[in-house]
Chain A
Amino acid sequence: MSDTNPLQAGDDETGALIETDALIIGAGPCGLFAVFELGLLDIKSHVVDILDKVGGQCAELYPEKPIYDIPALPVVTGQELTDRLMEQIKPFGPTFHLGQRIDALSRETDGRFRLTTDRGQVFVAKVVVIAAGGGSFTPKRPPLEGIEAYEGASVFYSVRRMKDFADQDVLIVGGGDSALDWTLNLQPIARSLTLLHRRDDFRGAPHSVDKMRALVASGAMRLLIGQATALHGADGRLERVTVKTKEGEEQVACTRMLPFFGLTMKLGPVADWGLNLEENLIPVDTEKFETSVPGIFAIGDINAYPGKLKLILSGFHEAALMSQAAHRIVYPDKKLLFQYTTSSSSLQKKLGVR
């Protein structure tokens, strides 16, 4: 698992409303393959993901690990599978909106769907494909008592505005790239900065580690080896953190804390869109993979139906059938001809191989 910061990327939006045939929520393997199946049927897609990269679980949780059950690929790593899907969908020119979460979904009077991201980007789409997997990737919250009370005022899981950290006593916790990068970025503006990690070994890029160690050597910041065990403060304002070290306990005075413990999947806003849910999954039929709302489909790990297996290959199949149903909505007057990519010259033209 890498600990990329999901909230850093994606500031490239112009803010103008985007109209599209299909809006795909989630750029995991199933969302990516949906671009392909929809594309073959002339349905254009925009794809939104809270992560700053595509590939969902495969890219975030196990990029280097092998997958053995993708048909015709005896072994492929999570990242390789993602790269290959990106290559396969290239002819269809999908637009990606990364680092953004779809927060709201509602219906327009003309029957289309209106979706809004946490950054205020608005989409209007004829069909919605929810490929949200296990939910939005969300930073892990350390199980420290009462931490919720400090969130948003003293405890942050990402840096949105650097100035929130200016002239503060900052405590950064973790040993990966996010912890190191923010240590280096915030050290010049913070009043004091302490990096806390459980061991004197870092997963982050070696040159960042070197820079951090140089700052420590020059006395510009502090590196503390240990683990946070309790937070102290009042009214949401953090004052100090108890840290367990090899030598015993220590109190670290701080007004800002940035814990970086990786990401976990939380259902998130999907629960607020008025769809039927069963145990955090979206029930669908097995003909169209449509939800309780016509025009909104759900594929991949997020859906549920009798016999469902949470496997990538199931999601691929679901994408193909979903696309047939989406075609009826996007092109109500067009008759759909069943064709093979091997032999259809029109499909091959779309794929750019002819």
Chain B
Amino acid sequence: MVKITFVQEDGTRQEVEAQPGLTVMEAAKTEDVPGIEAECGGACACATCHVYVEPEWREAVGPPSEMEEDMLDFAFDVREESRLSCQIRISEKLDGLVVKVPSKQF
């Protein structure tokens, strides 16, 4: 299992254990992490699973694909470290990953 931490706007941290192969969005939904809405169920079609990847994890997580960049246009307060969590696949190398949940999804 891989550990992933979700940090809310107010600093609350929630650590979840996730199976490699799932996506970060799925890991969040399984543990009811607040603020990850994922209306489209992971199809990269809604942008309501937006997260900010912490600086030290950005290289390991990698950049968004072109399709994801397009969908990020529909997210609110997009930053350099923005990703759609349904497009981040969990692997052993992401053990310890920390992502921030934005204050608002659209």
Contact = CB atoms under 8 A, between A and B. Distances in A.
Interface of A: 1, 61-62, 65, 140, 142-143, 174-176, 197-199, 201, 203, 227, 229, 261-262, 264
- Which secondary structure characterizes the binding site on chain A? loop
A199 B69 CA distance: 10
A143 B104 contact: yes
Contact of B43 (A62, A197, A229): A62
Contacts of A140: 74, 106
A201 B40 CA distance: 24
A61 B76 contact: no
Contact of A142 (B39, B69, B70, B106): B106
Contacts of A199: 69, 73
Contacts of B76: 142-143
A176 B70 CA distance: 9
A176 B73 contact: yes
Contacts of B106: 140, 142-143, 261, 264
Interface string B75-93: 0111000000000000000
Given A1-B45, A1-B46, A227 B77 contact: yes
Contact of A203 (B39, B45, B46, B73): B73
B78 A1 contact: no
Interface residues of B, number: 16
A203 B77 CA distance: 18
B71 interface: yes
B70 A203 contact: yes
> Closest 6 A-B residue pairs measured CB to CB?
A143-B104, A61-B45, A262-B74, A203-B70, A175-B73, A1-B45
Contact of B78 (A143, A176, A198, A262): A198
Given A1-B45, A140-B106, A61 B69 contact: no
A261 B69 contact: no
Residue of B46, B73, B76 contacting most chain A CB atoms (<10 Å): B73
Given A142-B106, A199-B69, A201-B69, A261 B74 contact: yes
Nearest to B76: A143
Nearest to A142: B76
Given A1-B74, A198-B78, 17 more contacts: A1-B45, A61-B40, A61-B46, A65-B45, A142-B106, A143-B76, A176-B73, A198-B72, A198-B73, A227-B77, A227-B78, A229-B77, A261-B73, A261-B74, A262-B74, A264-B46, A264-B106
Nearest to B72: A198
Interface string B42-53: 010110000000
Contacts of B70: 203
